[in-house]
């Protein structure tokens, strides 16, 4: 019996190795040319400790001062970020043929520029925490929000990823936001531009597309889609404005879909639940669908 199983396994392995040689896109098995997703997730977790120094402490360094703690975290982040960015730069046509030394130098420059953005990220997150507390009567304190609200966690990762996106880093920002998506059910593309005091309530099923622009003091509920009217053009639509613009002080209730790159939602607008919007809305408007008729048999 054991001999038979070994033969079967060896046959399967031979079939797989033969299949790997067919030139499929999924056949690239080089471990040194692809980013390490687990390392990128660890970078997010270490950045979280720096952004919330009093909440997500590094227990390994509990006997050190805050300065020493932050120094060790930053050095670790910098080392791993340089390594991962130098790998992904080859996905950019500009750096595809660059030598290792050139790519490493560029990765170092980008990584340092990113780390300088941490105070900016913290300033935005401070407003997001405040907006969540102000907007949710179920929040009894800000600690509850920081420790447990999936909306804030998705926003945090998006703000980190967005800065890397602006610095032209391929792939890594998307890995970060898709990790947030898998953890929270909230799908925000790293290219989306989001203002201060952003509040996501509940959050499950929210989709925010790459070219979305969101102003300050915007609140959105679960199941909201800020998407494209159509993606049938595929790659021809790359770098075009496909997703809506949401101006300041807008509230969008659950299940609403706002679609299209030319769609602009004006300031102080309230969009009711399940509304389907493909045209611009003037400032101060309140949009709702007609009440459905309930029938009882």
Predicted confidence (pLDDT) at residue 13 exceeds the cutoff of 60? yes
Residue 108 and residue 137 in one domain: yes
The residue ranking higher by pLDDT, 64 or 286, is: 286
Q: Are residues 270 and 131 in the same domain?
A: no
Asked whether residue 14 is domain-assigned, the answer is no
CATH code of 239's domain: 2.160.10.10
Please check the confidence at residue 24 and state whether its pLDDT lies above 60: yes
Q: What is the CATH number of the domain that holds 173?
A: 1.10.3130.10
In this model, does residue 228 exceed pLDDT 80? yes
Q: Which of 186, 210, 235 is where one domain is finished?
A: 186
Q: Give 69's pLDDT tier (boundaries 50, 70, 90).
A: confident
Mean pLDDT of the residues in the chain:
91
Q: Is residue 271 part of a domain?
A: yes
Domain contains 17: no
Q: 59 pLDDT exceeds 90? A: no
- DSSP tag of 195: -
239 confidence band (pLDDT: 50, 70, 90): confident
Domain that holds residue 160: 33-186
Q: Does 23 map to a domain?
A: no
Whether 22 has a pLDDT exceeding 70, the answer reads yes
What's the 3-state SS for 115-182?
HCCHHHHHHHHHHHHHHHHHHCCCCCCHHHHHHHCHHHHHHHHHHHHHHHHHCCCCCHHHHHHHHHHH
Same domain, residue pair 140 and 210:
no
Q: Is the pLDDT of residue 62 over 60?
A: no
Residue 1 has pLDDT above 80, yes or no: no
At which of 186, 209, 232 does a domain end? 186
Q: Are residue 181 and residue 197 in the same domain, yes or no?
A: no
User: Are 125 and 51 in contact, with CB atoms under 8 Å apart?
Assistant: yes
Tokens describing residue 20 = 């790997």
For 141-172, how does the pLDDT look when each residue is reduced to its tens digit (9 = 90+)? 999 999 999 999 999 999 999 999 999 999 99
Both 89 and 198 in a single domain?
Answer: no
Q: Choose the weakest-confidence range: 6-15, 127-136, 154-163, 266-275.
A: 6-15
More confident residue, 66 or 162: 162
Give the CA radius of gyration of the chain: 23
pLDDT for res 99: 82
pLDDT band for position 238 (50/70/90)?
confident
Which structure tokens are listed for 152? 């804030």
Phi-psi region of 109 (alpha: psi -120 to 50; beta: other; left: phi over 0): alpha
pLDDT of 30 strictly over 70: no
Residues 278 and 182 in one domain: no
Say which residue, 160 or 70, is predicted with more confidence.
160
Question: Using 50, 70 and 90 to split pLDDT, how confident is the model at 230?
Answer: confident
**pLDDT above 90 covers what percent of the chain?**
70
């Amino acid at each position: 019996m054991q001999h038979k199983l070994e033969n079967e396994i060896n046959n399967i392995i031979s079939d797989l190795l033969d299949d790997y040689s067919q030139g499929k896109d999924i056949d690239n098995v080089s471990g040194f040319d692809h980013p390490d997703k687990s390392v990128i997730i660890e970078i997010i977790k270490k950045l979280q400790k720096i952004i919330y120094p009093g909440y997500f402490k590094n227990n390994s360094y509990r006997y050190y001062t805050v300065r020493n703690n932050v120094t060790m975290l930053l050095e670790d982040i910098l080392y791993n970020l340089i390594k991962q960015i130098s790998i992904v730069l080859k996905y950019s046509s500009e750096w595809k043929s660059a030598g290792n030394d050139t790519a490493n130098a560029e990765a170092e420059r980008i990584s340092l520029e990113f780390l300088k953005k941490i105070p900016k990220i913290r300033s935005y997150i401070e407003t997001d925490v405040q907006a969540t507390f102000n907007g949710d009567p179920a929040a009894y304190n800000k600690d509850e929000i920081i420790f447990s609200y999936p909306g804030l966690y998705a926003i945090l990762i998006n703000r980190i990823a967005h800065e890397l996106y602006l610095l032209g880093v391929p792939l890594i920002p998307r890995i970060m936001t898709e990790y947030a998506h898998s953890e929270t059910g909230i799908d925000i593309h790293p290219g989306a531009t989001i203002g201060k005091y952003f509040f996501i309530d509940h959050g499950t099923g929210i989709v925010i597309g790459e070219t979305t622009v969101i102003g300050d003091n915007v609140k959105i509920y679960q199941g909201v889609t800020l998407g494209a009217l159509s993606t049938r053009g595929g790659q021809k639509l790359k770098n075009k404005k496909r997703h809506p613009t949401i101006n300041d002080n807008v509230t969008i209730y659950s299940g609403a879909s706002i679609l299209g790159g030319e769609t602009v939602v004006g300031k102080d607008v309230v969009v009711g639940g399940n509304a389907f919007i493909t045209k611009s809305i003037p400032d101060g408007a309140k949009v709702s669908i007609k009440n459905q008729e309930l029938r009882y048999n």
